Structure formats: C-alpha cells, structure tokens
Homo-oligomer: A and B are copies of this chain.
C-alpha cells in the first residue's frame, strides 16, 4: 500500500486567494485547513467550538474586544468558544486552522467574507 504525506508548502502553492480556507486533512470530525490572509477579517465568534490558529509564515494579529495577540511563524493560539475575534494581517500571512468540520469562517457574522465550506485542495 502506498501512503503519501500531506505537504503543507505544496498545498499552499495550489491557491492564492485570501481568507478562503482549504481543507488538507481530516482527523475524526476535525479538519486541518490552510489559508492565506491579508487585511482585516470580520468580527465574529464560533458559538459551539474553540478554533486553533497556527502560523506557518508571516505575522497575524487576532483582536479581541478586550485585547489582542500578535502571532508570528511557529506560534499558535486557541480562540475559546464564543469569544469574539477579528484576525488581521498587514501583509500576507499563511496560517493553518484546526477546527471541527463544518465550522464556517465567519462564524455568527456571515456576510461577503463567508467562504465555501469543506473545499479540499
């Protein structure tokens, strides 16, 4: 039987849009998603789940109503369930998101930045 690694750099080379997460792997009912982000995202929260950000390349700020966290390559952060947050990046940043399958990128906020769910690459 032939088993293939999932290469994060190789997967990033396959898309260029911003704020459009792509699924690269699934573990039980959780998915690993890659995204390129640049500019300000929308304020939102995820009512039913924590959400994990892992910085693959670049710098990302996650704003909260009562503070912020600045993340760089090799950093990770778990945004607690129900906590309002807004990711932003002055220049393009590559991130991995880990969250339950079916988690919508804009959470409770909706709107035009809502990306199609469950898009594999």
Give the interface of A toward B (CB within 8 A): 1-9, 24-28, 30, 32, 49-52, 62, 64, 66-72, 74-78, 81, 98-100
Shortest CB-to-CB span from A55 to chain B, Å, is 8
User: 30 A-B residue contacts at CB 8 Å?
Assistant: A1-B67, A2-B67, A3-B64, A3-B77, A4-B69, A5-B70, A5-B71, A5-B72, A5-B77, A6-B75, A6-B76, A6-B77, A6-B78, A7-B74, A8-B74, A8-B76, A25-B76, A25-B77, A25-B78, A26-B50, A26-B78, A27-B49, A27-B50, A27-B98, A27-B99, A28-B49, A28-B81, A28-B100, A30-B30, A30-B98
